[in-house]
Structures are given as structure tokens and as C-alpha cells.
Amino acid sequence: MISRNPKNQRPPFERLYSYILFAFVGYCIADLAILAYRDRMLPQSAPASRPKPPAADMSVSRGAYNTITTRNMFASNGQIPEPLVDKSKGAEAQKEADPVPSQLPLTLIGTLVHSNPDKSLAAIDVRGKNQVVSYSPGKEIEGMASIIRVERQKVIFRNLNSNRLEYIEMKKDAGKVAFGAGRPAAAGGKEVQSVGNNNFVIKRADLLKYTNDLSSILMQARAVPNREPGTGAINGFRLLDMQPGSIYEQLGLQRMDVIKSVDGTPVDSPAKAMELYNTLKNSPKVSLQIERNGKTETMTYNIQ
């Protein structure tokens, strides 16, 4: 056998060594050349500015609005065009019928008309529930009706069953003091007992008896807003007249008294008076600040 000497064996890629060396030397020369001539290859001055393109014409010709003018959506004479109606049904069928007197079990006790119609209030007695609740436009009455508008001594609402507009009105004599028409004093004594100077005691059962019959309470007296001289701001309500023997007289109030606040809360608006009415039912003690003959007095009522 012929044996080979491994020392005489040539390493692999020995023939490529010279090419690799030439490539490395060429790379170094090219890199040095770039470093030498780089500054000369950069631009020496700023490029010339390009002119701005002309602004696009955004104007629209009058002809583009021909569709609107031909449909008469906006009348050129300033008048609102007549509403579009289905001529097959007739114009009268498109108009909602005027409100009619309501047959719902509702009694209008009073209204407070605000300069902002949404803040107006109406005190309505729901017959059968033995309670009087204040409602404003947009509120529902026991799922029967939705208030549309509150007017002076009149409320317009939508009957939720028939979807028709209906109204209820106050009785013609509701705004007057109907002497003899109110609830008479209970036999055997008064409901309100005086226990000292401007201090009174009233049973809760008697208080609820009166508050649940607000229509009778309103019939026993007449009050108007009392305004500050000069500013005209409401600072309370003045009792102009009251029925002899009424609950107002039993509470120690007199004609021309000005009710200023209840438990320190000013009664400076009709809406505030309505809110305070509901808070009195569950209070154990009520303090009433009044102005009498130019002096401020406090009336205290203990509810037992």
C-alpha cells in the first residue's frame, strides 16, 4: 500500500486567499477615496425654490344651488312655506286636533307660570289617590297623561291612552276666598293649640288631614308675592285675606303677614313654595319666619 503524508496536503480555499486579499485592499482604497472626495460630492448651494401652485378656486356657481331654490326650502321673501301634506288625505287630516276637556280623574288645584315655560308648575289632585303632586312640562301623571304646557289656571297634556291633546282647568271661583266653603274646625276644639308666645302644637294626624286636602287649604286664604322695593325681587309671600277660623288663623297668622322662610329656607319663588309644601309632612318641628308690621317674628310648631 502507498501511504500519503498529511503534511503535504494543501488546506482548503488556499487558492482563494489571494482574491480575498485583493478585495480587502480594494475596499480600503475605495473607502479612503470616498472620505477624500465626500465634501466635493455634496451640493454647494441650496436648490432653486419651486413656485407655489395657484390656489384652487373654491367658489361655487349659483347654478349649483338650483336644486334648493326650485324646491323652495328657504323662501327668498323671508316667509316660511306652507308645510308639505299628503293631498290624498287632505290638509285638515294632517293637523292635530285642538285640546278637548279631559275626562281623566284629575283636578287642577293651582298653576305657577314661569317666564321659562319648562319651569312652570301645576298642582294636580289625582282623584282616588288622595294626594296632590306638582308637575312640570314633560312629566307624566300616574301613567295617564304627559304634561305639554302649563298656562294660567289651565294645563294641557296628552292622554297616553288615546294620544289626544286634552286639558283641565281650575274652577272659576278657585282663585277667590270662598268663606264658608272650607273645612270647618273640628268639633270639641281647634286642631292647633297655642302653648306660649308664638309656640304651637299640632297633631300629625290633623296636619296630614289638611295637607291631603290642599284644595280646601287654598280656598281658605289668598296670598301674593311680596317684592323688595327697588329691585323687585321676591322676598316672601303676603297673606292678603283669610277665612275666619281657617287653619291659617289657627297657626297664629294674621292678614298682611309676609311669610319669609320655612326652617331657614327662603320662600323666594312660587316653585320653592311648592317644594317646601311636601317637606312639611314628615318634619317633627317647623319654624316659620314672618314679617309683621315691619318686624321679623318666628312661629314654632311642634308636630306630635
pLDDT score, position 16: 78
Judgement on whether residues 281 and 207 belong to the same structural domain of the protein: yes
Q: Is residue 239 part of a domain?
A: yes
> Is residue 280 assigned to a domain?
yes
Q: Which three cell numbers stand for residue 107?
A: 283636578
What pLDDT score does 176 carry? 41
Same domain as 255, residue 196: yes
Q: Which of 153-162, 172-181, 207-216, 274-283 is the least confident region? A: 172-181
> Could you tell me whether strands 199-202 and 295-303 are parallel, antiparallel, or unpaired per DSSP bridges?
parallel
What's the confidence (pLDDT) of residue 271? 59
Residues 205 and 107 in one domain: no
Using alpha carbons, select from 277, 292, 291, 8 the residue that is nearest to residue 134: 277
128 in a structural domain: yes
Task: Name the domain boundary from 114, 136, 169.
Answer: 169
Q: What is the mean pLDDT of residues 272-281?
A: 62
Q: Taking 60 as the threshold, does the pLDDT of residue 94 lie above it?
A: no
Q: Are residues 165 and 206 in the same domain?
A: no
The pTM for the full model equals 0.42
- Which candidate, 238, 245, 249, places its Cα nearest to that of 294? 238
Both 268 and 212 in one domain: the answer is yes
Indicate whether 122 belongs to any domain.
yes
The answer as to whether 26 is a domain residue is no
pLDDT of residue 12: 66
Q: Please check whether residues 202 and 270 belong to one and the same domain.
A: yes
**Cell 272650607 -> residue:** 182
259 belongs to a structural domain: yes
Residues 206 and 290 in one domain: yes
**What average pLDDT does the chain have?**
75
In whole angstroms, give the CA distance from residue 64 to residue 59: 11
The grid cell for 122 is 301645576
Q: Give the DSSP letter string of 42-66.
A: S-SSPPPPPPPPPPP-----GGGGH
Q: Report pLDDT for 11.
A: 65
d(CA 179, CA 157): 32
In this structure, the answer to whether residues 153 and 220 fall within a common structural domain is: no
Domains of the chain: total: 2
Per the DSSP assignment, residues forming a β-bridge with 155 are 150, 168
Question: Please, which pLDDT band fits residue 160 given cuts at 50, 70 and 90?
Answer: very high
1-31 burial, b at 16+ Cβ within 10 Å, e below that, comes to eeeeeeeeeeeeeeeeeeeeeeeeeeeeeee
Share above pLDDT 90 across residues of the chain, in percent, rounded to a whole number: 9
Q: What is the dihedral of CA 116, 222, 215, 124, to 10 degrees?
A: 0
Neighbouring C-alpha atoms within 13 Å toward the C-beta of 226: 20
User: Which residues, other chains included, contact 88 with Cβ-Cβ below 8 Å and sequence gap of 6+?
Assistant: none
Q: Are 298 and 253 in contact (CB under 8 A)?
A: no
**Is residue 207 domain-shared with residue 298, that is, in the same domain?**
yes
Last residue of a domain, which of 115, 135, 169? 169
Residue 253 CB contacts under 8 Å (≥ 6 apart), including other chains: 239, 242, 259, 290, 299
State phi, psi for 210 to the nearest 5 degrees.
-80, -45
Averaged over 27-52, what is the pLDDT?
80
Split at pLDDT 50, 70, 90, the class of 100 is very high
What pLDDT is stored for residue 292 in this prediction? 87
CA distance 218 to 110: 9
We report the CATH number of the domain holding residue 133 as 2.30.30
Mean pLDDT of 246-252: 83
Average pLDDT over residues 163-180: 65
Q: What is the pLDDT of residue 186?
A: 40
Q: Output DSSP code: residue 119.
A: G
* Residues 165 and 242 placed together within one structural domain of the fold: no
Q: Is residue 295 included in any domain, yes or no?
A: yes
254 in a domain, yes or no? yes
Domain interval for residue 234 = 192-303
Q: Could you tell me the pLDDT band of residue 211, with boundaries at 50, 70 and 90?
A: low
- DSSP label of 187: T
pLDDT score for 146: 93
What percent of the chain has pLDDT above 70?
Answer: 72
